[in-house]
Chain A
Amino acid sequence: MGGGHLPDGGLTEVTAPADVASPALAMPVRGRSTASAVARLIAWRVTGAVVLLAVISVLVFLLTYLSPGNIIKNITGIRPVSPHIVAELRAEYGLNQPLAVQYLHWLGRFVTGNFGRSIEDQTSVSQLFSERVGVTLLLCGMAFALAVVVSIPLGVLAAVRVGGLLDRLISVTSVIGLSAPAFAVGLILLYVFSYFLPIFPSSGSGQGLADTVYHLTLPAVTLAVGVGAYIVRLTRTAMTRELRSDYVTFARARGLGSQRIMWTALRNGIIPVITTMGLVLSFMVGSTILVETTFTLPGLGMLLQSSVEYKDFAVVQFLTLFFATIIVLVMLAVDLSYLVLSPEWRWQLRR
């Protein structure tokens, strides 16, 4: 894999911790529940997400203050500045005011869409962002689609043949995928498919959609390896459990067709897979930094990495907050998707 840390999430059957990966509905909403229970749950989840984002924004804001060196230096970068400019900046950034006030000002600017300027490129952060976001979105989208399309069937197949040769093959392959950092996979693919068999370009993002997709194929495959391996294991574990369950035995006992039984099991088994999509996204964001660096793709990940190198704070702050917001929102959506996936809520509403 590469982006770092995917918790096991009950993949290894011995662990099966109840709520490590699945968004356990933290609030007790059982009892005399009606529509208000669902409303309460949604409100609770949304509040949680907002609080989480607020905390993250404080941390991101503090980054400039806690980092070694002078704040003005951090704002201006390594260029020499006159005392006049320093004073101007102090006033502009309100550096003479209490930290809390400064934070609110900063947040206010952020919320109104004024993300500041990059010291490195001397362009506005929003412009830098809009130039780079396309590549990253397309890369993640392609990788995600690839991973889902390949991995879920493989996971199901392994579960159906559990213990068999095919299962072992798929399982071992998924362990390798899980153990392979994105940059390592990327380098190997780069060597094989750009040099040894020069099919794909080694860097850049291309012009126009078709060319871009072509340029992004190798990076997307790289990114998909780790994500895909994780989804394979998740699907295999979930489906193995479902296929051993009583309702599958009873369905077979009634003479139901294999296809019908598979769909029934899949409908049940897919719930834990979907509820871990927040983790998958979090993982992809981490990996995309590595993949973009490996393939020198001008995306957000590479922008983040170079901004950190040049201590380009405005950009680092914006990107960190951007990624965190996306992840928090997706996790919120996944949490709430539980309402649709599990029928429990429907009958609670009915009462």
Chain B
Amino acid sequence: MTADLLTTVAAPGVRARRRPVTLVTCLVILGLALFAALFGHLLYPSATQVNVLQAQLPPGSPGHLLGTDQLGRDIVALSVAGTASTLIGPLVVAGGSMLLGTFFGLLAGFWQGKTDFLLSRLTDLLLALPVVLLGVVVAGIFGASYWWTTVLLIVVFAPYDIRIVRAGVIEQVTKPYVESARLLRLSPWRIMLRHLLVNLWPLERTNFLLNYANAIIAMSALSFLGVGVQQGTANWGRQLIDGEQILFSNPAASIAPAVLIIVVACAVNLLADALNADDRKAAGR
């Protein structure tokens, strides 16, 4: 198997041509998702209304392209209406943990010392308690609402961000340009904002996107386990748990939201990859 492996090299041009396609596809998917999240409730104002007479219609039924669930709710309408609660909470999670991560990561990386030590131990602690386990136990026991679950996830995600930003800062602070700024006696805040932050931007952006994808997955996982989203709310994770019970009479009830979660999370992950690749190309020049 390995006989010829080392000698094959890909043509460098192929990748460059393909990348915009990936990038554009991702952006289109995310654009549609954003539109559905913002205006979904206007398109289908009665998506969550129960209609027992039309329960469990199979896909392709008249007026219901993907059929209905056991409560007679149209799957298409429910999925569109569920976009907001599935995608906005995670956006807040990713944004919040990025802000916390940037702030504490800059401080820890720039001054190091004790803060640093404590933060590392905190990450160890959270590593030993997986997100879903922590979410199920804490949010489950306390009966946390949607927004409290969001806050919980910010707390759980932030230590990773702090560590990533901190590692990035530590990599930068030993570079001559930062040391020169120190020798010029510029204020630490100026060095952090004007010098470090701009150079950490690719790192932050990548990390934000990866966190966003992870948060979408984590939050729908919690919804799937009945945590964080109230019964009757339009939400993809919630749709999955409801739809699983009628998997064999209307598979679309659970497969549709499953595919939606995968597609959106994929788009976010691929966007991160594509932007990274562009960065690398720019750096190579």
Q: Contact at B225–A14, with CB atoms within 8 Å? A: no
* B181 adjacent to chain A (CB < 8 Å): no
Q: Contact at A290–B157, with CB atoms within 8 Å? A: no
Chain B neighbourhood of A163, CB < 8 A:
9-10, 12, 14-15
Chain A neighbourhood of B4, CB < 8 A:
258
* A103 adjacent to chain B (CB < 8 Å): no
The CA-CA distance from A324 to B129 in the complex, in Å, is: 6
Number of A-B contacts (CB under 8 A): 233
Which of B156, B220, B221 has most A Cβ within 10 Å? B221
Q: Contact at B276–A14, with CB atoms within 8 Å? A: yes
- Flag the segment in A29-37, A78-86, A126-134, A174-182 that touches B: A174-182
Chain A neighbourhood of B218, CB < 8 A:
4-5
Q: How many residues of B sit at the interface, in one of the four size bands? A: 35 or more
* B96 adjacent to chain A (CB < 8 Å): no
Chain A neighbourhood of B129, CB < 8 A:
56, 320, 323-324, 327
Q: Contact at A3–B124, with CB atoms within 8 Å? A: no
The CA-CA distance from A171 to B167 in the complex, in Å, is: 26
Q: Contact at B137–A320, with CB atoms within 8 Å? A: yes
Q: Which of B131, B268, B279, B280 contacts A3 (CB 8 A)?
A: B131
Q: Contact at B279–A327, with CB atoms within 8 Å? A: no
The CA-CA distance from A179 to B247 in the complex, in Å, is: 22
Q: Contact at B247–A15, with CB atoms within 8 Å? A: no
Chain A neighbourhood of B244, CB < 8 A:
187, 294
* Interface members, chain B 116-149 (any A CB < 8 Å): 120-121, 124-125, 127-133, 135-137, 140-143
Instruction: Count contacts on A: residues with CB < 8 A to the other chain.
Output: 80
Shortest CB distance B18–A (Å): 7
**Chain B residue with the shortest CB-CB distance to A252:** B6
Q: Contact at A289–B214, with CB atoms within 8 Å? A: no
Given A1-B217, A7-B164, A14-B280, verify A183-B128 contact (CB < 8 Å). no
Interface of chain B, main secondary structure: helix
Instruction: Type the 1/0 row for A235-272, where 1 means its CB is closer than 8 Å to any CB of B.
Output: 00000000100000000100000110110000000000
Q: Contact at A258–B3, with CB atoms within 8 Å? A: yes
Chain A neighbourhood of B120, CB < 8 A:
26
* B213 adjacent to chain A (CB < 8 Å): yes
Q: Contact at A176–B266, with CB atoms within 8 Å? A: yes
Chain B neighbourhood of A160, CB < 8 A:
5-6, 8
The CA-CA distance from A5 to B17 in the complex, in Å, is: 32
Shortest CB distance A278–B (Å): 7
* Interface members, chain A 7-24 (any B CB < 8 Å): 7-8, 12-15, 17-20
* Interface members, chain A 301-325 (any B CB < 8 Å): 304-305, 308-309, 311, 316, 320, 323-324
Q: A48-B121, A171-B273, A179-B213 are in contact. List 8 more A-B contacts (CB 8 A).
A: A1-B217, A4-B218, A17-B167, A56-B129, A181-B220, A304-B136, A320-B137, A324-B128
14 A–B contact pairs at CB < 8 A? Answer: A3-B130, A4-B221, A5-B156, A52-B124, A67-B141, A163-B10, A184-B257, A187-B243, A187-B247, A195-B248, A289-B132, A293-B225, A323-B129, A331-B127
List residues of chain B with CB under 8 Å of any chain A CB: 2-10, 12, 14-15, 18, 120-121, 124-125, 127-133, 135-137, 140-143, 156-157, 160, 163-164, 167-168, 170-171, 202-203, 206-207, 210, 213-214, 217-218, 220-221, 224-226, 240, 243-244, 247-248, 251, 254-255, 257-259, 261-262, 265-266, 268-270, 272-273, 276, 279-280
